Amino acid sequence: SLRSRASFKLLELIKAQPQLIRKGGKVLDLGAAPGGWTQVAVAAVSRDGVENLMKGGRFVGPNGDTESMHVEGEPVGLFDEDIDEGESVEEVKFANHVDNGGRVVAVDLLPMDPIPGAQIVMGDMTEASTQESVIQLCGGKVDVVLSDMAHSFTGTRSADVIRVMDLCKTAFSVAERVLKVNGNFVCKFIRGEDDGELKDMLQQRFRIVNFDKPMASRRESAEAYLICLEYTGAQKASED
Chain residues that interact with ligand SAM, rule: CB under 6 A: 3-4, 6, 31-37, 107-110, 124-126, 148-151, 167
Residue type, 53: L
Q: How open is the CA angle 6-8-194, to the nearest 5 degrees?
A: 60
Shortest distance (Å) from residue 141 CB to ligand SAM: 21
- Those residues whose C-beta lies under 8 Å from the C-beta of residue 40, and which sit 6 or more positions away, are 2, 7, 10, 11, 14, 50, 53
Shortest distance (Å) from residue 238 CB to ligand SAM: 33
Count how many Cα atoms sit within 13 Å of the Cα of residue 217 in the half-sphere of its side chain: 18
Minimum CB distance to ligand SAM smaller for 200 or for 211: 211
Q: How far apart are CA 227 and CA 186, in angstroms?
A: 5
Give residue 99's Cα distance to chain centre: 22
Minimum CB distance to ligand SAM smaller for 31 or for 102: 31
Sign of CA dihedral 2, 229, 147, 219: negative
Q: How far apart are CA 170 and CA 129, in angstroms?
A: 13
Minimum CB distance to ligand SAM smaller for 37 or for 185: 37
Give residue 161's Cα distance to chain centre: 19
Shortest distance (Å) from residue 239 CB to ligand SAM: 35
Shortest distance (Å) from residue 163 CB to ligand SAM: 9
Minimum CB distance to ligand SAM smaller for 47 or for 151: 151
Catalytic machinery residues: 188
Strand partners, 122: 108
Shortest distance (Å) from residue 175 CB to ligand SAM: 14
Minimum CB distance to ligand SAM smaller for 34 or for 183: 34
> With contact defined as beta carbons under 8 Å apart, do 186 and 224 qualify?
no
